[in-house]
Amino acid sequence: MVDSWRRYKRDLTEAEDRPTRWSALRPKQVSQRDLLIPGAADRLKLLAACLFCGAGLSVLWVYFPLLTVSIALDRSFGAWLWTAMGGFAGAVTLLLFAWASANEERYWESL
């Protein structure tokens, strides 16, 4: 009984029994280059990512709370809602961009 189990286990580990696309399905190894923060040349990408985050946070932290208040009061905020969302998104974008840029400079100095 023990011998047959070892043979079965050995048969499962043989390379020819694996699917032909096994190497394509296996994720590639993460290198140190993959973990580096993008350099200063990618400032537009960083700004775009910060803008996307700022827009998402403005929807979550401004739109939904004001929508709840608007429904409770049975009144519409009109243009004030969109102005508040735009202002909040712009402020968060600038704060995130400044914070990410400062952390990037500190990271390069620490190397």
| Per-residue confidence (pLDDT) for residue 58, from 0 to 100 | 97
Condensed to tens digits (0 to 9), the pLDDT of residues 16-66 reads 555 555 555 666 777 777 676 566 567 888 889 999 999 999 999 999 999
Q: CA-CA distance, 99 to 37, in Å (whole number)?
A: 14
Q: Domain for residue 68, yes or no?
A: yes
Percent of the chain whose predicted confidence (pLDDT) is above 70: 68
Q: CA-CA distance, 79 to 81, in Å (whole number)?
A: 5
Is pTM beyond 0.75? Reply is no
Q: Domain for residue 78, yes or no?
A: yes
User: Domain range for residue 85?
Assistant: 40-110
Phi first, then psi: give them for residue 27, nearest 5 degrees: -65, 145
Tokens describing residue 67: 């929508």
pLDDT confidence bin for 80, thresholds 50/70/90: very high
Taking 90 as the threshold, does the pLDDT of residue 107 lie above it? Answer: no
Q: Tokens 């009984």, residue?
A: 1
pLDDT confidence bin for 5, thresholds 50/70/90: low
Q: Domain for residue 19, yes or no?
A: no
Q: Domain for residue 81, yes or no?
A: yes
End-to-end, the C-alpha distance of the chain in Å comes to 58
Give the torsion through C-alpha atoms of 84, 87, 89, 92, to 10 deg.
-120
Q: Which stretch of DSSP H or E encloses residue 56?
A: helix 43-58
Q: Domain for residue 13, yes or no?
A: no
Q: Domain for residue 88, yes or no?
A: yes
**Amino acid identity, residue 93?**
T
Among candidate residues 29, 90, 30, 16, the one with its CA nearest the CA of residue 57: 90
Mean pLDDT of the chain: 79
Q: Domain for residue 15, yes or no?
A: no
| Per-residue confidence (pLDDT) for residue 45, from 0 to 100 | 86
Total count of domains within the chain: 1
Taking 60 as the threshold, does the pLDDT of residue 88 lie above it? Answer: yes
| Per-residue confidence (pLDDT) for residue 39, from 0 to 100 | 60
Tokens describing residue 109: 């100095």
Q: Domain for residue 96, yes or no?
A: yes
